[in-house]
Amino acid sequence: METKLSFKELINSDTPVLVDFYADWCGPCKMMPPILDKVKQSFGDDLTIVKIDVDKNQQAAAAYQVRSIPTLILFHKGEIKFQQPGVMQAAQLEQIIREKTSA
């Protein structure tokens, strides 16, 4: 049986976590899933990707000052390594993840 980690436990893990803050009604947000799928394929188990619906999780969005969506936040060992609003291409995202987590 798979244990559900809390968000805090998840972002504090050794595995980098990419969080996609989105909303169902957001046009640009709909462009992210295929991009995130590509990134996930590149990293496999070396990256966790989490999607957070800002309408259902307003506290999380507020906690990380998410003001526009989509917003991507990369956590590694509990620290924010990267945060940027807007749609990003898979190759650019992969490069940022490698740069920010290769410490």
Show which residues are catalytic: 26, 29
C-alpha dist (Å) from residue 95 to 46, 81, 101:
14, 13, 10
Burial class of residue 87 in the structure, from the number of CB atoms within 10 Å of its CB (0-12 exposed, 13-18 middle, 19+ buried): middle
In angstroms, the CA 45 to CA 65 distance is 28
Other C-beta atoms within 10 Å of 11: how many?
A: 22
In angstroms, the CA 58 to CA 103 distance is 32
